[in-house]
């Protein structure tokens, strides 16, 4: 008689995280696109006003400009960080029951750094494709899709151009991965077995991912604020990132967390959807755990 396997105990495969992140990106892409438009605008349109303007000029499909690049980014950036984190976690827990939180943070930081660097080319193409519609027709790059963008950048600007901004992208990826993967793991373990969450189910996944999304937003906000401040400042205002940091810090730490809700509106849903999809993929397509004899 075949033993019944508990689906919640199934083990995920290395590529599940990248697939789940790509699925989540398809759902949250319009929010990501609006965020890029707001960060690069000359005026001060609100999220709703920017959405209305985009709908008027490009219709519903305008909200999905650059979707191929967004998916490619998740299949490079997120697949790498999830795979590295998953491999490290399995290796470190092979002969013991659980990892301490500091090990999860260290592993997530390493995974994020690797994923951020690998995903930089797709991230750059993603931003360009999303922002292309705002440029005058004669200045638009008009990439057909993400692969076309990569090929044209290599041909027209050289391969090194693909890694412009790699330092900032990698640093941000470390913060995001610590907030998402390490904190999700830790929070899920803490909640599981409490009176409110006795089973590994969708409610547990939602609560853990929602909290992890908030933590990831808090960790990345200082970087996002500095990046936006430096992008919008007149030439020569800041000699370095540290100079920008000091300028913001003069008015207290709260300056690094301006606009928390708009930032969470983008990163929060993507975090929740990624882990909700990941858990469902794991339960339905994951490997069964080794049977004990």
Mutual orientation of helices 166-177 and 101-118 as an angle, nearest 10°? Answer: 150
- What is the average per-residue pLDDT within 257-270? 81
Taking alpha carbons only, the member of 172, 204, 210 closest to residue 190 is 204
What is the predicted pLDDT for the residue at 275?
Answer: 97
* pLDDT, tens digit (0-9, with 9 covering 90-100), for 148-178: 999 999 999 899 888 887 888 899 899 999 9
Residue with tokens 């992140």: 21
The DSSP symbol for 131 reads: H
What is the predicted pLDDT for the residue at 43?
Answer: 60
Least confident stretch, 44-58, 67-81, 202-216: 44-58
Domain regions of the chain by residue span: 7-285
The H or E element that residue 169 is part of is helix 166-177
Distance in angstroms (rounded) separating the CA atoms of residues 214 and 202 = 18
Pair 218, 268: CB distance under 8 Å: no
Distance in angstroms (rounded) separating the CA atoms of residues 77 and 84 = 11
Tokens encoding 180: 């998402």
CB count within 10 Å of CB 284 equals: 9
Q: State pTM to two decimals.
A: 0.85
Residue with tokens 């830790």: 186
Residue with tokens 């969470």: 264
Distance in angstroms (rounded) separating the CA atoms of residues 69 and 125 = 6
The H or E element that residue 97 is part of is none
Reduced to 3 states, what is the DSSP secondary structure of residue 105? Answer: helix
Say what percent of the chain tops pLDDT 70.
89
Superfamily of domain 7-285: Mitochondrial carrier domain (1.50.40.10)
Which one is predicted more confidently, 51 or 179? Answer: 179
């Amino acid at each position: 008689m075949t033993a019944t396997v508990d689906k919640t105990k199934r083990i995920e495969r290395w590529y599940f995280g990248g697939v789940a992140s790509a699925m989540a990106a398809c759902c949250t892409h319009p929010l990501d696109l609006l965020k890029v438009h707001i960060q690069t605008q000359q005026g001060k349109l609100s999220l709703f006003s920017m959405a209305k303007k985009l709908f008027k000029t490009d219709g519903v499909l305008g909200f999905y400009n650059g979707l191929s690049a967004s998916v490619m980014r998740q299949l490079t950036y997120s697949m790498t960080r999830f795979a590295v984190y998953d491999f490290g976690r399995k290796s470190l827990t092979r002969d013991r029951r659980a990892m301490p939180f500091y090990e999860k943070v260290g592993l997530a930081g390493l995974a994020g750094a690797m994923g951020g660097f690998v995903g930089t080319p797709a991230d750059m193409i993603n931003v360009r494709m999303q922002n292309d519609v705002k440029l005058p027709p004669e200045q638009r790059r008009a990439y057909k899709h993400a692969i076309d963008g990569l090929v044209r950048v290599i041909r027209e600007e050289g391969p090194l151009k693909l890694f412009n901004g790699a330092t900032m992208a990698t640093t941000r990826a470390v913060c995001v991965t610590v907030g998402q993967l390490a904190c999700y793991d830790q929070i899920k373990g803490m909640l599981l077995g409490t009176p409110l969450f006795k089973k590994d189910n969708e409610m547990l996944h939602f609560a853990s991912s929602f909290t992890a999304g908030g933590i990831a937003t808090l960790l990345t906000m200082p970087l996002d604020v500095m990046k936006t401040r430096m992008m919008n400042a007149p030439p020569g205002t800041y000699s370095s990132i540290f100079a920008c940091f000091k300028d913001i810090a003069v008015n207290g730490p709260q300056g690094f967390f301006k606009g928390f809700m708009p930032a969470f509106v983008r990163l929060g849903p993507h975090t929740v959807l990624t882990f909700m999809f990941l858990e469902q993929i794991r339960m339905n397509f994951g490997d069964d755990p080794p049977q004990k004899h």
